[in-house]
A and B are shown apart, each in its own frame.
Chain A
Amino acid sequence: MNAPAAADVIHELERVPDASSGALVRHRPDGSMAGAMLVELGRVCWAVSKQQTRRLTDVIMDESPTLTRDQVENVVHLCRNDHLPLGETLIARGLVSPPVLRKALLRHTCEALEHLVHEESSRWNWVEHGGRGYAPYLTFSQPELGAGLNAREFPDLSAMAESGLRAAVGYGTRGFAVDRTQSGRTPLAQIGCEDHDAASLADLALDLEAALVTAPLAVAQIDDLACAGWADDKILYVLICDGDLAFNRLLAHVARTTNPTKE
């Protein structure tokens, strides 16, 4: 069985030099490009695969049912002629909202990456470039990308993780959930953890797994973060809190809402 796409992609992103921009490219044996993932300052802007049949406009239309094909094609035509960015132009014209566009971009990027991971076997090559042009809010962090890819590959488990996390995350807390059966510990779901890198989340998950060997629920102060962890057979849930009195606030929150020992 193939390794999950999320683990592969995050592993490659961790090799990208900090604060640089460019593309991770995969080639076919004949030397032609199979696809690429564009990265700016550690965040993924966009991915494309030659194997991908659905265009971004198809995904945007899926996510925005009131949008007509004519409206989209008119904007595509305008953007081609005037060299305008498609997403921002759709937003500027009020045709899609930023959250809808963001969701569509993530979905399209994850579809492309899934093809690139599972249907290509060449090494990813890093090609640096100087240009930075993507609006930061339309780019994706490692946890977002990991959760997006896992949601495609493991939809049932990811939906369960998302639902469990939504029930647990409260004011002042954020959280993520990982598949306990996979060594890579890539996020199945995350809420508010966009600014963490995947490796630091995986480290927190390992620390909490160690605590859960002795108890069903643990709250720990790990460096400057207060973290709570609990698990079922397949999913480890982690809540994070920081700032003043974070440990006490998180303790009160999980004792009130999450404690699986009270079920």
Chain B
Amino acid sequence: MNQLDQLTELAADCLGAAWVDTRTGQVLEQRLCSDDPALLPALQSAAAVVSERSHLSQLVLFHEAKFEVVARAGQDPKRVLVASFPTSANLGLAVNVARFLAAGGQS
């Protein structure tokens, strides 16, 4: 099972997640659990914040109804794992699962 599958399984509230290449902004892989057309662009925008800032390793962006988590990949810091959650989701769980999986962890 890959990390995106594990993420959506471990954090069941996850609206969607993607691996993004910060050099190109290209979505390398995605799992969307919502049909909201704004979801994927929001994941890309969140990844873009860290794309030119190599010193920024983790990020959580809070919106009114959702939050996004961005974590750099342990193996390749040019790739980031980005995931979106509703505000009602468990913040600590969402952040730490995303960070753990981005770092290369396996559940």
Judged by a CB distance under 8 angstroms, whether A248 is at the interface is yes
B63-A221 in contact (CB<8A): no
Q: Quick one: which of A207, A248, A252 contacts B53, CB cutoff 8 A?
A: A207
Comparing A49-57, A88-96, A208-216, the segment that makes contact with chain B is: A208-216
- Name the A residues within 8 Å of B42 (CB-CB): 214
Across the interface, do B92 and A218 meet the contact criterion of CB distance under 8 Å? no
B33 contacts the other chain (CB 8 A): no
Any chain A CB within 8 A of the CB of B91? Answer: yes
Q: Is the CB of A248 within 8 A of B62?
A: no
In the bound assembly, the distance between CA atoms of A248 and B97 in angstroms comes to 12
Shortest CB distance B57–A (Å): 5
CA distance A125 to B67 in the complex (A): 51
Q: What class of interface size applies to chain B in its complex with A?
A: 20 to 34
- Which of B45, B46, B57, B95 is in CB contact (< 8 Å) with A248? B95
State which residues 190-211 of A face B: CB under 8 Å: 207, 210-211
Bound CA–CA A30/B68 (angstroms): 62
B64:A255 contact, CB within 8 angstroms: no
Q: Does A100 contact B (CB under 8 A)?
A: no
Query: Residues 90-107 of chain B: 1 if any A CB is under 8 Å from the residue's CB, otherwise 0?
Result: 011001100000000000
Max chain B C-beta neighbours (<10 A), residue from A215, A217, A221: A215
Are A215 and B63 touching (Cβ within 8 A)?
Answer: yes
Query: Which B-chain residue is minimally distant from A255 (CB atoms)?
Result: B91
Task: Give a binary string over B27-54; 1 marks a CB under 8 Å from any A CB, 0 the rest.
Answer: 0000000000000001001100100010
Pull 14 A–B residue pairs with CB atoms less than 8 Å apart, ordered by A.
A207-B53, A211-B61, A214-B46, A215-B67, A216-B62, A217-B61, A217-B62, A218-B59, A218-B61, A219-B62, A220-B56, A221-B56, A255-B62, A259-B62
Point out residues on A near B: beta carbons under 8 Å.
Answer: 207, 210-211, 213-223, 247-248, 251-252, 255, 259, 261
